[in-house]
Structure 1
């Protein structure tokens, strides 16, 4: 199998091998290191240089970043939106929550922030290194043998561990090892155009104000919607366009045609089309999903999947990143009392009991949000807009078509504290996260 690498164990901890240095993997690395375990992360990429795009970190995620003691620079580079607005695609306002930043902090004790992915990943990576986590880049895992467990990489190296954590994302190789078969993601029928604009590209004062004064804007229309928000402390603007998928089968990402993209949004809000006029190049990303797995844990109790490898999410509630942070936080907390292999399986099943139902429920909620944001013009859309407008300028009560401010769904998602819930699970108080639907 080539060169074998034994990982160093902590004084009383486990040897944990994490496959993937995305948000789920690095979060799990931090959390497991804080729990006293020896952690090694194997990453297929040659360097951790994520292509720039925005992330919306909601309070269920930001409270974990606070708990992990990330540096002030992360918060300095963030943009905290003061208003969240939902527009009809023409520009007409359907919903608007002023003082969004203050309301969120008051309700949940943690902020809603918009970040550049690179800023967050680098901060998490540095924190993990400071905690003694070892990173091995350019190590593509090909085989996970649970009898060790042992991991074999494309370069011919092998790594032994007490626990293997598959956190290698949507196109997960560890999932295939877990299932023992090829298992490709399935198309959702949507794709995303992802755009980042810098302030120095923008000349129009109205757009400059939009970028420098952080807000979140949604434009919802027939079969598509767009979301825009500031990042980098109000110096850049992140724009995501969600439209019907026209990529060929088997193609996950492709260079997009800017004029073709603009044509899809002809007749939409002039603010949105003005923003699109500054786009020179764009990429198209097929949005994929996965079937639910019966379990995330193998029979031997030494191999587990987390994050997008087992519960990828449509980006319509911004919970893919936040759920990955939750998984990482919960895993390390659950494992903090485990020092022997024979106790691993029981702990991992506590983790699964805590995380699986919640994650899969959020996945379902993202599809419901797509339905409410992509309605074709007609009676159903008119009924939706009536619900929106009946509560415009009022305190929202009951079910609401935008889950971003729906008092039921927002509270269910944002109030969750993965560390506290994991601590309760250790005490035998695993709570099933149940909600009413919007």
Structure 2
């Protein structure tokens, strides 16, 4: 097999996942990351079975710091009334999908992925900012990546995994291509258990469950991580940030004011908060292609399909991307650099429709969780009530336990997806 020289721009979750699977497939991989360290940017992640089965297969999951499998999943209305509830949620997920649903801190996963990549021989260069990409003039040409220090890397394939504000995307399109506001923002909160003094609240954190509060134009998700020592709360509300501001420190008074009159359990948690960040939630229009015309650049993750966090699939889907991309470049079906265009087209065929369908589903979840009081909200709550305490049947307003959406999201197996596609093609690209 021809061993490819692969340069990945970005050491986020998609880039590190791609680096692991590309290395396992036998290629030389370099990851270039502009950050000086893999630090605690962001907050919690909900890792669903479509991702955790990959992390287990790669030997990453067991090395992560304190992932928590929630015992319950509950949806409350904003006044605190239970709309939906599932006991033994984590056990049920394992039984149905043979992989865990777990809550983790983003940096814990990122560092575990980086360690596995390093063990596989991936070269990870931090504090390295890419400023120029040269794709050559013809399909099959090698590409050149230039950094801010003038260092050049030659690659058979560049993987643009540089996130929402992807420079690779703009370079490939030949124009500045900024993401678009969704109209929502997130207050992201991480509480250490020591900050929570009320025994009842502390017990909620230590007896882990996923909790949602849904209300007019807003909703909240909260869950435990790091072995039940940390509580992650995300408040999703209308965006009031200036157009040019993507993230800023938030006001705790403003935050608490937005949720005045909501469930006292939630507002008690918010009283424990001493600092909070505001993040503008952005999206992008669908791209015609994730692959450049020379077939030596492919975009993955948030660079091509950023997602609202309303189904927790941004990270999970990005890791799927990295796995599928590495798998289509594995022998015996991939043996020659000349097959790269076909391999990339297969990757895109397998991933683009799913990624974009998940994006659309997140907007549907936002709609169902953000209904203002009125006839549509009453109809939604009646549907919730009709299924409470029963096995859910049919379409359901919370896709987290919806029997139509959950299997499609969580049952996805990247390895099987590639195997089936190759079997259909007679194991050839």
Q: Same fold (TM over 0.5)?
A: yes
Shift of residue 355 of structure 1?
Answer: 0.2
2:30 corresponds, among 18, 21, 40, to: 40
Q: Residue 41 of structure 2 aligns to a residue in which SS?
A: coil
Contact 1:52 1:196 in 2 (8 A): no
Instruction: Give the aligned partner of residue 139 of structure 2.
Output: none
How far, CA to CA, are the matches of 2:303 and 2:258 in structure 1? 32
Residue 388 of structure 1 is matched in structure 2 by 384
1:55, 1:318 within 8 Å by CA — same for their partners in 2? yes
Equivalent position of 1:402 in the other structure: 398
Q: TM-score, normalised by structure 2?
A: 0.96
Q: Partner residue of 1:139?
A: 128
Are 2:99 and 1:110 aligned? yes
The structure 2 residue matched to 1:68, chosen from 20, 40, 58, is 58
TM-score normalised by L of structure 1:
0.94
3-state SS of paired residue (1:234): coil
Once the two structures are superposed, residues 257-304 of structure 1 have per-residue CA deviations (whole angstroms, 9 ceiling, x without a partner) of 110110000010111000000111111000000010001011111110
Pairwise CA RMSD? 1.2
In the alignment, structure 1 residue 168 sits paired with structure 2 residue 162: yes
Quote the residue 2:179 is aligned against: 185
1:365 to 361, 367, 382: 361
Please tell me whether the aligned partners of residues 165 and 306 of structure 1 are also in contact (alpha carbons under 8 angstroms).
Answer: yes
Q: Check the 8 A contact 2:51/2:320 in 1, yes or no.
A: yes
Gaps of 5+ in 1: 1-10, 431-438
1:190 counterpart SS class: strand
Unaligned runs of 5+ in 2: 137-141
Compute the displacement of 1:426 (Å): 2.5
2:84 is the counterpart of 1:95: yes
1:33 deviates by 0.2
Residue in structure 2 matched with residue 434 of structure 1 by the alignment = none
- Equivalent residue, structure 1, for 2:281: 287
SS across alignment from 1:168: coil
The aligned residue for residue 219 of structure 1 is: 213
Contact 1:334/1:423 (<8 A) preserved: no
Deviations 1:336-367 (A, max 9, x none): 03343211000000000000000000000000
Look up the match of 1:321.
Answer: 315
Distance 1:136 1:388 in 2: 49
Give the whole-Å Cα distance in 2 for the aligned partners of 1:80 and 1:306. 28
Matched, 1:257 2:251: yes
Partner of residue 159, structure 1 = 153
Match of 2:5 among 4, 12, 15: 15
- Deviation per CA, 1:128-173, whole angstroms, max 9, x where unpaired? 0000000111111111111130111112111101000000000000
Whether contact under 8 Å (2:163, 2:303) holds in the other structure is yes
SS in 1 for 2:52: helix
3-state secondary structure, aligned to 2:169:
helix
TM superposition shift of 1:325: 0.7
16-25 vs 148-157, which moves further: 148-157
Count matched residues.
419
Q: What does residue 70 of structure 2 align with?
A: 81
How far apart, CA to CA, are the structure 2 residues paired with 1:186 and 1:374?
A: 20
Tell me if structure 2 keeps the 8 A contact 1:78–1:115: yes
Matched, 1:121 2:110: yes
- Deviation per CA, 1:363-401, whole angstroms, max 9, x where unpaired? 000000000000000000000000000000000000000
CA contact 2:52–2:61 (8 Å) conserved in 1:
no
2:296 matches 1:302:
yes
Report the Cα offset of residue 419 of structure 1. Answer: 1.6
- CA distance in structure 1 between the partners assigned to 2:107 and 2:347 by the alignment: 28
**Alpha-carbon separation, structure 1, partners of 2:293 and 2:62:** 42
Is contact 1:167-1:306 (8 Å) kept?
yes
Per-residue deviation, residues 71-112 of structure 1 (Å, max 9, x unmatched): 6342x6011001000000000000001110111111100010
**CA 1:71–1:255: 2 relative to 1, 3 Å:** closer
* CA distance in structure 1 between the aligned counterparts of 2:62 and 2:355, rounded to whole angstroms: 29
